[in-house]
Structure 1
Amino acid sequence: MAPSVAIIGAGFGGLCMAIQLERAGIRSYTVFEKADDLGGTWRDNSYPGAGCDIPSHLYSYSFEKYASWTRRYPEQPEILGYLEHCADKYDVRRKIRLRTEVRRAVFDGSKWQLTVTPAAGSSTSRAPQSGTAEGREPGVTGGPEFSDGGAQPTTGDTEVFDVVVMGVGQLNRPRLPDISGMSEFEGVSFHSSRWNHDHDLTGRRVAVIGNGSSAAQLIPRIAEQVEHLHVFQRTPNWVIPKADATFGPLAKLAFHFVPGLQRAYREWIYRYAEGTLYPALAQGWSTGLLKKRALQHLHDQVPDPALRAKLTPDYPPGCKRVVIDSTFYPALTRPNVDVVTDKIVRITPKGIETTEGLREVDTIVYATGFRSTEFLAPMEVRGRGGRSLEEQWQGGAEAYLGISVPNFPNMFLLYGPNTNLGHNSIIFMIECQVNHIMSCLPYLSAAGPIEVRPEVMAAWRRQLDAAMERMVWGGGCQSWYKTAEGRVTNNWPGPTTLYRRLTTKPPLPAYRPAGSG
């Protein structure tokens, strides 16, 4: 008898899990999605210019190649369309329960008890509006997306499953900066992942706080329409050019009809990223090459020496995620754009006050990233014997292969701790994880609930720690890869070829019947 499976989240990870269950003939699964549509981060992030810095033919499922990509680097509408195509083709949409949030997951000794409630607010791209006042537009300074993850109501319907697959990802909870006065701002403010499409930026005086990948994509799009744009930069990023291009009719026909062309093109992209970009992150042979390329790109696109100095990082390339973009620097050189490196003191009703004075604006965009190290929050998760996952992860989230956690039987994670990449496609990693989970399922009926062995987890931790020592992420920079204490909990420190080998090993030696140790 097939196990009943709860999949939490309908982004790339949750959909991949559902599709593989469907393909295996296992239909005793339910996908819970708190938003009002599927897509995950590609539903949420609809800001101008939102897109991916991994080529489209690699940023897709290996089992569902897609000849209809219109450009080398896909933008948000096309990626979301691809996910909708996959959900329809594999007939998993009927198994998705939208606007349904899992507040609590408790293992009762044999099964998982999920507390399920109607979602308080959908995680769509339109920001919630509050704080209206006569004579001005509403300020967007709060709402469900910006809650601090504190106590959540746990009343609701209880549903029981044999297996829980957490597909909520790492980049789903917006992070706002801790700046005094934010709630006092009289204009309109919102996070980049909750873009307010009702607010026209034409002729506005706008501030963007942050300069990472999201900011680098949206700034060129809005700089052309605003009256003036203030870009608040705390730390500059390394930027390399994006070799984007459209696929013309002949290329699309070739991808569709020439046998093996898509596979060969995908493999070439994968091997290039693995052979050239990964060594730079591991401080290997291509480190100097990456730095030289980034500095040349900066020199070519920013003629002003003073601005170039502001935009030159003082840490090694790859310590923070490298921005891949060819339009960001030109936007920063526009006469209506200022790069502000003064420290922000407070936000006032009229704008942003720095150590050098007040900059009056009517719109603030927070391109400040996500609460990436708070895996699974704010969901309450309790494993064997009532053990709290939050307490077990107090020193930082960790999981065997980024998938399984001791004391939490029959619970698996997709895009879990230490599985993010800085050089290749996360979809590759997700497929490896789903394949590992699928290989675990046949053992459940014979052994009952299974959990990863503590000694296996301890060995995994030692291996990760040793591998991290050679990576560039530890070098002198703050990033979303790390906890406040400096522990890297997000990134995978090895080549993806190694991860694939590890996740294809027979799973049973690493697991034991729940509570048998």
Structure 2
Amino acid sequence: MAAQSPQPEVARVDHLIVGAGFAGLCAAIKLQEDGERDFLVVEKGSDVGGTWRDNTYPGAACDVPSQLYSYSFAPNPEWSSSYSPPPEIQAYIRGVAERSGTLDRFVFDTTFDGGDWDDVEARWRVQVTGPAGTRTVLARTLTLGAGALSEPRLPAIEGIETFQGHLFHSSRWDHSVDLTGKRVAVVGTGASAIQIVPEMQRVAGHLDVYQRTAPWIIPRNDRVYGGLERRLLRRVPALGRLYRTGIYWAHEGYVPAFTIEPKMAAPARAAALANIRKGISDPALRAQVTPHFEIGCKRILRSNTYYPALAADNTELVTDRIAKVTGDAVVTVDGVERPVDVLVVATGFWTTELPIAEHVRDAAGRTLADVWQRDGMAAYKGTTVPGFPNLFMLTGPNTGQGHTSMVFIIEAQVAYLRDAIRTMRERGWAAVEPRQGAFQRWNANLQRRMKRTVWTRGGCDSWYLDEHGRNTTLWPKSTVTFRRDLARFDADAYDVRRTDPTPTREDLPA
């Protein structure tokens, strides 16, 4: 008789959280505050931080001011400047985690292999793999905090797999490669690319920048916080709150231009055009970098150094489409072959087809990706999905922001998650899932609002849109409205299952 393979270790927890970036850490801290201490956080990386742990490319920076890009419950008076560099953001996240007293329930270097809803147990049966091997975790709730900007998307370019030089994605930077004097090509002109290009221009022998669509770029009005200012921020906490409030409302002022009338963004458009004139003197190059769509249709970027880098003698902006990549060159559709030693692809992430959705299955074995395949990503309040009980998504469908801090959105969703768990405890419910009608009404209204936005009628093709042309990534209203809509867990929009089989009013059909 053949020997049987040993069964994987099984752990039981009340709550399993996937991801230890801003979202997962926030969920862990707030659950602990509520007395929900039986949780586990699994993280594929070796530390907290998520995006700010992984993105270490030269020139990396946040385009949201630090006072706003931080937890409201953990202000930091030590930011060095209004736009702090990634190492400071990572140190901030690490410091918050250490002070929270939750790290003893974080498991690092551990992948989320898949989760199946067990209808009998009314729990998620999750497989995770870490240094000790693969094990099973049974959890009452499953919270996905992996983020939309975590899985790099490589371009589908003919022959790219044959390239013999150094090739890497911006979020997986290879610091072992010495770029000094090399022929470097950067593919893409999005948020990461405009930060990378100036750094490459300084060290490369020659730099090619491949642009499909010119972005709108406004000046980066960064400033250093002096010693006196930081002392005041330490000693007068109200000053930090005032900074945060002012920055929040200044950014919220973009919302009408994005969601009601694009012409209201005229000041930002004027600033962007002035930025081009200041950075580039050549009329032909100016024309190449001037966008032909409404400002805001794609994310508005911030840089003072990108345009001067494009205008440098060792840089060429290439606007012809790439036809193929050979062993040592990039070939465009006009037949021009440009030799290259290092190929940097700054081509974004899987934002409209979240890879993690392929690993979450309902009781019938359908993945979340299967459910979304026909109509695209969708969730109730960006957080829950019919057919997937006790599943909560942080930064889920239509929660993204084109103007402000995602930390604000994360805190709103975590508040909703907390109230859901609190309600389940109080009412003795084993499982909750949004009703199909509530889900459909929410998303139908959301997509109706989306038709009015600059992202839909602004004349661009962006990563906000899926293959169906639907914007499944952004929130089409103010963040004030989002927080209000998620301020409480609306149990009447959910089907529930009680632990106690005795029927109550909540169990009766609506």
Do both proteins adopt the same fold according to a TM-score greater than 0.5, normalized to the shorter chain? Answer: yes
**1:219-234 alignment runs, 5 A limit:** 219-234=197-212
Find out whether 1:469 has 2:451 as its counterpart.
yes
Find out whether 1:404 has 2:414 as its counterpart.
no
Specify the SS of the correspondent of 2:337: strand
Find out whether 1:175 has 2:159 as its counterpart.
no
Instruction: Work out the CA distance in 1 between the residues paired with 2:441 and 2:342.
Output: 50
Specify the SS of the correspondent of 2:87: helix
Instruction: Work out the CA distance in 2 between the residues paired with 1:268 and 1:488.
Output: 29
Find out whether 1:492 has 2:464 as its counterpart.
no
Instruction: Work out the CA distance in 2 between the residues paired with 1:413 and 1:232.
Output: 35
Match of 2:255 among 259, 262, 278: 278
Instruction: Work out the CA distance in 2 between the residues paired with 1:341 and 1:194.
Output: 25
Partner of 2:50: 40
Find out whether 1:63 has 2:73 as its counterpart.
yes
Partner of 1:481: 464
Deviation at 1:512, TM superposition (A): 2.2
Instruction: Work out the CA distance in 1 between the residues paired with 2:78 and 2:199.
Output: 25
Find out whether 1:164 has 2:164 as its counterpart.
no
Compute the RMSD of aligned alpha carbons: 1.7
Q: Where do 5+ consecutive residues of structure 2 fail to align?
A: 1-11, 499-506
Deviations 1:161-183 (A, max 9, x none): 10000001101111111111112
Match of 1:115 among 123, 127, 140: 127
Partner of 2:437: 455
Instruction: Work out the CA distance in 2 between the residues paired with 1:391 and 1:184.
Output: 32
Find out whether 1:201 has 2:179 as its counterpart.
yes
Partner of 1:146: none
Specify the SS of the correspondent of 1:433: helix
Deviations 1:134-185 (A, max 9, x none): xxxxxxxxxxxxxxxxxxxxx9421101000000110111111111111211
Instruction: Work out the CA distance in 2 between the residues paired with 1:66 and 1:287.
Output: 31
Instruction: Work out the CA distance in 2 between the residues paired with 1:385 and 1:231.
Output: 48
Specify the SS of the correspondent of 2:486: helix
Instruction: Work out the CA distance in 2 between the residues paired with 1:89 and 1:318.
Output: 38
Partner of 1:419: 399
Instruction: Work out the CA distance in 1 between the residues paired with 2:173 and 2:477.
Output: 35
CA contact (8 A) 1:342 1:356 kept: no
Q: Sort the Cα spacing of 1:441 and 1:3 in 2 relative to 1 into closer, same or farther, 3 A.
A: farther
What is the identity, as a one-letter code, of the residue corresponding to 2:476?
P
What is the identity, as a one-letter code, of the residue corresponding to 1:220?
P
What is the identity, as a one-letter code, of the residue corresponding to 2:127?
T
Instruction: Work out the CA distance in 2 between the residues paired with 1:236 and 1:188.
Output: 26
Instruction: Work out the CA distance in 2 between the residues paired with 1:370 and 1:390.
Output: 16
Deviations 1:167-226 (A, max 9, x none): 011011111111111121111110000000000111111000001110111111121111
Match of 2:422 among 421, 427, 442: 442
Identity %: 41
**1:249-328 alignment runs, 5 A limit:** 249-275=227-253, 277-284=254-261, 286-328=264-306
Show structure 1 runs of 4+ deviating over 3 A.
384-387, 514-517
Task: Out of 201-210 and 92-101, give the one that drifted further.
Answer: 92-101
Partner of 1:144: none
Q: Where do 5+ consecutive residues of structure 1 fail to align?
A: 121-154
Specify the SS of the correspondent of 2:495: strand
What is the identity, as a one-letter code, of the residue corresponding to 2:85?
E
Q: Sort the Cα spacing of 1:76 and 1:114 in 2 relative to 1 into closer, same or farther, 3 A.
A: same
Partner of 1:134: none
Partner of 2:343: 364
Instruction: Work out the CA distance in 2 between the residues paired with 1:514 and 1:328.
Output: 55
Partner of 1:342: 320
Partner of 1:147: none
